[in-house]
Amino acid sequence: MSEQKEGRRVVASNRKARHEYHILDTWQAGIVLKGPEVKSLREGKVSFQDAFARIEGGEVWLYSLHISPYEQANRFNADPVRPRKLLLRGEEIRRLVGKVEEKGLTLIPLDLHFSRGYAKVTLALARGKNLHDKREKLRKRTQEMEARRAVREAR
């Protein structure tokens, strides 16, 4: 599950995001976590199901990201799906506010990774795909696989 590239170790990725959304732009944001959450994150115990970000009061918050409780932390564990603050520069947040107000655009997390020891989230500005877009993508993928298989069998 972990991928090493440029000093960054990917802990978990939102695999459904690229299937269900058109990704328009991405940002890397820090995430405010409690100690046991970081340990649980290092073990890869995280789920992106229905996770999204929202801008409230000039701050960016991540909702519905499930980080499982760390076994050894007992009473120090936080709520697994609590809202978590994302750390972005002021100018980035102001730019995001204008874009998110456009109809149909949303902020979704693409992956969680560690960069130089700090937990980071790759946040994407995205537009939801229609059902026919998803079917078209699956159809193209199937055609490519069949073409590769035919070339392989022709050898």
pLDDT of residue 28: 94
Cα–Cα distance, 47 to 65 (Å, whole number): 6
What DSSP letter does each residue of 109-132 carry, written as one string?
EEEEEEETTEEEEEEEEEEEPPHH
Which of the 8 DSSP states describes residue 70? P
At the topology level of CATH, where does 4-129 sit?
Small Protein B; Chain: A; (2.40.280)
Q: What are 97-128's pLDDT values in tens digits?
A: 888 887 778 899 999 999 988 999 999 998 88
Question: Could you tell me the pLDDT band of residue 5, with boundaries at 50, 70 and 90?
Answer: low
pLDDT of residue 1: 41
Q: In terms of Cα–Cα distance, which of 120, 95, 90 is closest to 105?
A: 95
Work out the average pLDDT over 36-45.
86
How do the domains of the chain map onto residue ranges? 4-129
Answering whether pTM is above 0.85, one says no
Percent of the chain with pLDDT over 90: 31
Confidence check: pLDDT of 79 > 80: no
Confidence check: pLDDT of 19 > 80: yes
